[in-house]
Amino acid sequence: MEITLDKFKPKITRPFKRKNEYWVKLIDESGEYIMKFKSPLEAEDAIYGLLDLQVYGGKVKLKLREGNVIEDIQVIELYKPSAKELLEEYFTD
């Protein structure tokens, strides 16, 4: 099953071991998704690779299988604000 999420800004958990695999959860308003890896190093690499998405958010296409397990994630657009927008947001809050 493929779904497209427009405002995907997940909170990403640290890798945890389950059934001889390392799982990482991506938690968003739209739900909870799981990525599975064979080693903790692969899981850590994925977390660092998703850092921009975690900070800024974006539009993604997820290919899911049963249990909301992500088989493939494709970042279509990253909502990275300009420096001016970041400064305005910082000084108005």
Residue 93: per-residue pLDDT: 61
Range of the domain at 17: 2-92
Q: What is the pLDDT of residue 17?
A: 94
Among 1, 49, 45, 3, which residue's Cα sits nearest to residue 22?
45
Between CA 35 and CA 22 the distance in angstroms is 8
Q: What's the CATH number where 18 sits?
A: 2.40.50
pTM: 0.80
Instruction: Note the pLDDT tens digit of each residue in 17-75.
Output: 998 999 999 999 989 999 999 999 999 999 999 998 998 899 999 999 999 999 999 99
Number of domains in the chain: 1
